[in-house]
């Protein structure tokens, strides 16, 4: 039993105190890989990010963060004692960063992943993983942009005229809207002795034509109101 305890203690001392030599060539290759990949992610972020904050100011530390993470991992992996010490240090240190948008957090994790992978000498896996992530971000960004553009092109228009206009006048308004719209969808109409209210969803070829038509309607029908709103947020 004593021999087993001594053996276990000896093994534990061996693992804790062992040091793995890091070759200078391997060290330099990992640093260069981390720097290059971080720089490429920085360029990608500047060109493709949709964040409203100062992208250049936020991304200027990408390369430094990637290289620093790589150095830390390469040093820590050489000794179990250093690894345990790092865990203890991180447990008492709080990092406070002004992350304004979730997209910024995604890119920070990409940079940290580059540092971790390069520091662990998993350069090929890291390169493939980062490339795949950037491709996914590109596809998602284009899909989201197209979806957002389609939503933004759809405009809710409400026409309120303070009199009961004829069916011919209503058809004329409808025909005028058709001329300037790629898509026209009827929503509702309310008619009374005092006023007429019509709601449409339109996708105008040019927004200027829609505003011009609203001016014509107001000119033709006195005391009328034309309300335009994006994304069905129409309040009459």
- Span 158-197, pLDDT tens digits: 788 877 788 888 888 888 888 877 777 778 888 887 788 8
Exposed, middle or buried by CB within 10 Å (0-12, 13-18, 19+), for 59?
Answer: buried
* Residue range(s) of every CATH 3.30.70.2690 domain in the chain: 155-230
In this prediction, residue 96 carries a pLDDT of 58
Each residue's pLDDT tens digit, 209-236: 777 878 888 878 777 888 777 655 544 4
Q: Return the CATH number of 155-230, one of 1.20.120.80, 3.40.50.12240, 3.90.79.10, 3.30.70.2690.
A: 3.30.70.2690
Q: Break the chain down into helix, strand, coil percent, rounded to 5.
A: 65, 15, 20
Partners of 203 in the β-ladder: 183
Q: Using CA of residue 26, residue 28, residue 29, residue 31, what is the dihedral sign?
A: positive
Among 135, 26, 119, which Cα is nearest to 65's? 119
């Amino acid at each position: 039993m004593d021999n087993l305890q001594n053996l276990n203690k000896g093994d534990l001392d061996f693992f804790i105190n062992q040091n793995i030599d890091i070759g200078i060539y391997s060290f330099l290759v990992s640093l260069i890989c981390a720097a290059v990949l971080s720089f490429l992610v920085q360029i990608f972020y500047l060109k493709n990010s949709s964040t409203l904050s100062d992208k250049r100011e936020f991304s200027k530390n990408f390369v430094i963060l990637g290289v620093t993470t790589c150095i830390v991992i390469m040093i820590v992996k050489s000794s179990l004692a250093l690894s345990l010490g790092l865990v203890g240090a991180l447990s008492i240190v709080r990092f406070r960063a002004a992350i304004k948008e979730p997209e910024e957090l995604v890119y920070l994790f990409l940079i940290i992943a580059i540092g971790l992978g390069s520091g662990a000498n998993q350069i090929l896996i890291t390169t493939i993983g980062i490339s795949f992530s950037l491709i996914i971000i590109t596809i998602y960004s284009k899909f989201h942009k197209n979806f957002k553009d389609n939503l933004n092109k759809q405009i809710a228009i409400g026409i309120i005229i303070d009199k009961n206009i004829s069916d011919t006048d209503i058809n004329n308004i409808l025909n005028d809207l058709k001329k300037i719209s790629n898509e026209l969808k009827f929503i509702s109409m309310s008619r009374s002795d005092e006023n007429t209210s019509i709601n449409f969803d339109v996708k105008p070829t040019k927004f200027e034509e829609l505003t011009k038509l609203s001016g014509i309607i107001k000119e033709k029908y006195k005391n009328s109101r034309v309300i335009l709103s994006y994304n069905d947020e129409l309040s009459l």
